Amino acid sequence: MLTEIRWHGRGGLGVVTAAELVAYASILKGYYALAFPEFGAERRGAPVTAYNRISDRVLSDRSPVLEPDIVVVLDPTMVRRETLRGLKRGGLVVANATKKPRELAELLGPEYRYATVDATRIALEIFRLPIVNTVMTAALATAAGIVDVDHLLEAVRARFSERVAKLNELAIRRAYESVEVA
């Protein structure tokens, strides 16, 4: 088993942390996992890409993922066809969008599967900041099943201070309830 994920967003949305949390959660589940960003200068608002490889075997290849099984898009303005380049046929798009999965299929093509969540709204309600990363990890967990929400919660508790972890736990639970999968 090998699942390759590519994350898209902008500096400040927590893209790299999202990929790292998913790797932690996968490792907690007993998988071997890698998380790494498209290394570059870190600037707020600039496009950021990050990757996960998750497997039940030890992985040696740490080159960028070119043909992902899943693409996660954290910034609604990046939910575009070109963001999906290389995504395998039948692959999954997990998007921060107010649109329904069915609407995205019309917009971006029927050859992929879609899951959507209004992550910005959830993040603004809980954090009062549009930091959507943990919301999107929960959407990924719900839609793809590769990682479990319980392991994500454990990863969040290991990563953040108690106060921040509590808010993120809330965000994850909220996302879990509101993600729509086609």
Partner 1 sequence: MVEKLAEFVANGELDAEFIHVESEHSALSAVVGASAAGARVFTATSSQGLLLMYEIMHIASSIRLPVVMSIATRAISAPINIWCDHSDFMAASDSGWIMLMGMNAQEAHDLVIAAYRIAEDPRVLLPVAVGYDGFWISHTVEPVYVLEKEEALRYAPKRVTWRALDPEKPVTMGPLASPEWYFEFRVQLQKAIEGSRGAISEALREFGQHFGREYREVDGFYTDDADVVLVAMGSVTGTAIPFAEEARKAGLRVGVVNVRLFRPFPEEEVFKHLENAKVVAVVDRAINPGSPFVGPLYSDVAVTAFKRGLDIPVLNYVTGLGGRAVLRSHLEAMVKHAYGFVGKRMRDVETHYGFVGVRE
Phi/psi for 77 (5° steps) reads -75, -10
CB of 52 to partner 1, least distance (A): 9
CA 96 to chain centre: 9
Pick from 47, 64, 76, 109: which binds partner 1 (CB under 8 A)?
64
User: Which class for 70: exposed (0-12), middle (13-18), buried (19 or more C-beta within 10 A)?
Assistant: buried
DSSP letter assigned to residue 97: -
Nearer to partner 1, 66 or 129 (CB): 66
Nearer to partner 1, 53 or 113 (CB): 53
Pick from 45, 56, 66, 98: which binds partner 1 (CB under 8 A)?
66
Binding mask 2-31 for partner 1 (x = CB under 8 A): -----------------xx--xx--x----
Using DSSP's 3-state secondary structure scheme, residue 130 falls into coil
Binding mask 116-155 for partner 1 (x = CB under 8 A): ----------------------------------------
| CA–CA distances in Å: residue 5 to residues 61, 103, 169 | 14, 22, 22
Residue 36 sits in the site that holds partner 1 (CB under 8 A): yes
- Distance CA(113)–CA(96), nearest Å, equals 14
Q: Which residues would be at the binding site for partner 1 (CB under 8 A)?
A: 19-20, 23-24, 27, 32-37, 39, 59-64, 66
